[in-house]
């Protein structure tokens, strides 16, 4: 994104997406990056992968299909294979019900195949 340049001297480093959205919503010239689920009261900026690519607006669809170039996944890390209630939580989050809730709160759900292949046995 920065083409090997450093951040501007005017860059504000903020502790999370909610803080970024709050700052951007109050600054007509502000620009920031955060999760789609938090983006209320701000405009989306279209982004292109390179100078030859079409600029794409972030959306659940463009993130899901990989056309939006700067999305990232969320990960859960565990010190060992989840068991008991933790296993139940992981599998519920990967279930159609869990993925539906993720989508309802504007998170990008996993594809059905990816969710099913991630179930903890």
Burial of residue 120 (number of CB atoms within 10 Å: 0-12, 13-18, 19+): middle
Q: 35 and 1: one domain?
A: yes
Q: 56 and 27: one domain?
A: yes
For residue 111, the model assigns a pLDDT of: 87
DSSP structure string for 58-110:
--HHHHHTT-STT--------SS---HHHHHHHHHHHSHHHHHHHHHTT--PP
Over residues 23-78, the pLDDT tens digits come to 999 998 888 888 888 888 888 889 999 899 999 999 888 988 889 998 888 889 99
Q: 14 and 68: one domain?
A: yes
Domain count, the chain: 2
CB 20 within 8 A of CB 32: yes
For residue 36, the model assigns a pLDDT of: 82
Least confident of 13-17, 36-40, 97-101: 36-40
For residue 60, the model assigns a pLDDT of: 86
DSSP class of residue 16? S
Q: 24 and 65: one domain?
A: yes
CA distance 27 to 66: 30
Q: 98 and 118: one domain?
A: yes
Q: Which domain holds residue 85?
A: 73-121
Q: 110 and 90: one domain?
A: yes
Q: 77 and 32: one domain?
A: no
The answer to whether residue 1 scores a pLDDT higher than 80 is: no
For residue 23, the model assigns a pLDDT of: 92
**CATH code of residue 5:** 3.40.190.10
For residue 37, the model assigns a pLDDT of: 81
């Amino acid at each position: 994104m920065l083409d090997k340049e450093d951040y501007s001297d005017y860059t504000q480093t903020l502790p999370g997406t909610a803080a970024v959205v709050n700052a951007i919503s109050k600054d007509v010239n502000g620009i920031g990056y955060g999760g789609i689920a938090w983006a209320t009261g701000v405009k989306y900026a279209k982004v292109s992968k390179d100078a030859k690519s079409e600029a794409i607006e972030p959306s659940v669809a463009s993130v899901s299909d990989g056309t939006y170039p700067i999305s990232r996944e969320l990960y859960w890390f565990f010190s060992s294979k989840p068991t008991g209630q933790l296993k139940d939580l992981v599998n519920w989050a990967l279930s159609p019900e869990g993925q539906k809730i993720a989508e309802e709160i504007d998170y990008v759900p996993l594809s059905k195949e990816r969710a099913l292949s991630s179930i903890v046995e």
